[in-house]
Amino acid sequence: MADETLALTSAPAQSSDRRKPVRVPVWDRFVRLFHWSLAATIVVATATGFFAAAPRIDIHIWVGAAALGLVVARVIWGFLGPTHARFSDFATDRRTIFAHLSQIAAGKAERHRGHNPLGGAMVLALLGLIVAVAVTGVVVLGGVFKSGPLAFATSFTTGWNVRVIHELFSVALVVLIALHVAGVVFESWRTHENLARAMVDGRKEARPKDHASGMKGARPVTAIAIAGSLLAALGSLAWVSSARLPLGVPTAALDPTYAEECGDCHNAYHPTLLPRASWSALTAGLDDHFGENASLGPETTQRIASYLMANAAEAFDTKPANFFRQIDPLKSFTITATPFWTQTHRNIPTAVFDRTAVGVRGNCEACHTDAAQGRFYPGAIDIPSEATP
Amino acid sequence: MKIIYPILTAAALSVATMAAADPARQAIVDFYANAAGVTDFSAEGGKSLFETTQVGGQPDTNVCTACHGTNHTDTGRTRAGKTIEPMAVSANPARFTDLEKVEKWFRRNCDTVLGRQCTAHEKGNVIAYFSSL
């Protein structure tokens, strides 16, 4: 019905200039703003996720959260917005999609002023996949980095395994975006209309043979129900999460005796950076400690040894604790010579370690501002720049 | 005019005792003097022990100045990158005021640098050297 009205009102303009049909509003302001904002967040999230250095993790997290927020708003708008923004306008069944495909192949497919069945399916797939990437991202953030709303309930192992799914979904999203762009290019060529431009100014040509699209009534009850239940779910998650500590994260400050005695000569490495067997051997051999006599009185040695035993890598669930737990205790105690350390620091140039504020590889605190807490969150890395002489 | 003599005497005494003014440090010096059976320590002997390259300890650290540096009013640096406070008492008044700490570091560092323990005489000489700077 709406299309009829539009076609009628546009009739005089068409007759006055046949080569320039009237362009009517199709994509409302919200849909356009949503589309390009989502595109921007996904570009930044993908770029930071695949290529950025570890300290940039917070950018990745925030654009990912923004993308999820945009998708949620779009879902609600899908029940409230004008006709072509509505799910009921473009969400169809498999039969319609295949019928449209075979019509394209036969060269006689209809032109849809909103999304065609294939385009509609793509919109739903993209929205669903972005939600999946975001949710798996929150699980990884909670389990591996012990941060975000699920940190209180997610083990490292869960986070580390879900990381693979997060990455697979992300690759699938890139593939889907490529198909989406290819679809836009193809449909623009097929219907002789720049569809990307339509997503900028919101208008598309009104043509007499367009697929008949009925006026879609808004469903405010559904929209409110979705918004309300999401709000309730997120609110209670935030409430539960804020009252609980991240799972398996050390909370106590370094033992003062340990920090003083060991910190006199070197960085007082957090106890979670070595397994019990390594600490045990180290504290038993302080008179030959990496070539130096670092002996302590028996009481002090005993006190430090029992502190290290109680707080070693086996006792916590942080990422460093999980990896340093696995090192061969008989092979090497040198934390900076372990496979995990060399792997995670492979992109740091040697010159960085020579900087005045760093000095040696074992000076964790120089860059990891949360080293003393045993956290080692990537976003807490702050590599000191070299002071100009 | 007679009043000048007591003042001069007081001034002379205070200069003489300034380096070892801290009673805690004096107690440590006395402890080593008693243990070594001597009445006086040699700053020259301390300087020689501290700044001569030694044989018998770790090749990487065969001289005290490897970590402590040669300017004793300035800081040194351990092999693992930690700052060592100045050795000179004038720059670091807390130096040699805690017998337990003094013993701990002589025990560790003499072993590392010399491959043996230092004698009470040697320890007293080193303290005399850094008290004179």
Q: What is the DSSP string of A291-308?
A: TB-----HHHHHHHHHHH
Cβ contact A165:A136 at 8 Å: yes
- The pLDDT score that the predictor gives to residue A389 is 53
- The pLDDT score that the predictor gives to residue A381 is 96
State the residue range of the domain holding B25: 13-131
Q: How far does the CA of residue A161 sit from the closest CA of chain B (Å)?
A: 36
Q: What is the DSSP letter of A205?
A: E
Taking alpha carbons only, the member of B19, B62, B78, B61 closest to residue A363 is B78
Strand partners, A203: A25
Whether B23 is in a domain gets the answer: yes
Whether B8 is in a domain gets the answer: no
In this complex, which of B58, B80, B104 lies closest to A360 when CB atoms are compared?
A: B80
b/e string for A201-219 if b means 16 or more Cβ within 10 A? ebebbbbeebeebeebeeb
A42 contacts: CB under 8 Å, gap ≥ 6? A67, A130, A173, A177
Mean pLDDT (chain B) is 87
Phi, psi dihedrals of residue A205, rounded to the nearest 5°: -65, 140
Q: Give dist(CA A43, CA A54) in Å, integer.
A: 18
- The pLDDT score that the predictor gives to residue A156 is 98
Helix or strand (DSSP H, E) at B17 = helix B4-18
pLDDT tens, position by position, A301-342: 999 999 999 999 999 999 999 999 998 866 767 899 999 999
Could you say which residues from 267 to 296 on chain A have a Cβ atom under 8 Å away from some Cβ of chain B? 267, 287, 291-296
Residue type, A24: V
Phi, psi dihedrals of residue A24, rounded to the nearest 5°: -105, 155
Alpha helices in chain A (DSSP H): 2-16, 29-51, 57-80, 87-90, 94-105, 117-143, 156-190, 195-201, 220-242, 256-263, 276-284, 298-310, 319-324, 339-344, 350-354
Whether B105 is in a domain gets the answer: yes
Whether B2 is in a domain gets the answer: no
Q: Give dist(CA A310, CA A272) in Å, integer.
A: 10
Whether B73 is in a domain gets the answer: yes
Burial of residue A76, with CB atoms counted within 10 A of its CB: 0-12 exposed, 13-18 middle, 19 or more buried: middle
pLDDT tens, position by position, B99-124: 999 999 999 999 999 999 999 999 99
Say which CATH number the domain at B90 has. 1.10.760.10
Q: What total number of domains does chain B contain? A: 1
Strand partners, B84: B76
Q: Report DSSP letters for A70-126, one per residue.
A: HHHHHHHHHHHS-GGGSHHHH---HHHHHHHHHHHHTT-PPPPSS--HHHHHHHHHH
Counted across chains A and B, CB pairs separated by less than 8 A come out at 44
Residue B12's pLDDT band, with cuts at 50, 70 and 90, is very low
pLDDT tens, position by position, B20-53: 478 999 999 999 999 999 999 999 999 999 999 9
Q: Give dist(CA A315, CA A321) in Å, integer.
A: 8
Residue type, B1: M
3-class secondary structure, A381: strand
Cβ contact A362:A338 at 8 Å: no
Whether B7 is in a domain gets the answer: no
Q: Which regions of chain A are under pLDDT 70?
A: 1-19, 329-330, 332, 387-389
- The pLDDT score that the predictor gives to residue A332 is 67
Which residue from B minimizes the CA distance to A294?
Answer: B108
Whether B1 is in a domain gets the answer: no
Task: Kindly determine whether residue B111 and residue A287, on different chains, have CB atoms separated by under 8 Å.
Answer: yes
Task: Kindly determine whether residue B81 and residue A267, on different chains, have CB atoms separated by under 8 Å.
Answer: yes
Taking alpha carbons only, the member of B129, B127, B72 closest to residue B105 is B127
- Percent of chain B scoring above 90 in pLDDT: 74
Q: How far does the CA of residue B66 sit from the closest CA of chain A (Å)?
A: 13
* Chain B interface mutation, best of A261, A289, A293, highest count of B Cβ atoms under 10 Å: A293
- The pLDDT score that the predictor gives to residue A19 is 64
Which residue from B minimizes the CA distance to A287?
Answer: B108
3-class secondary structure, A335: helix
* Predicted ipTM beyond 0.95: no
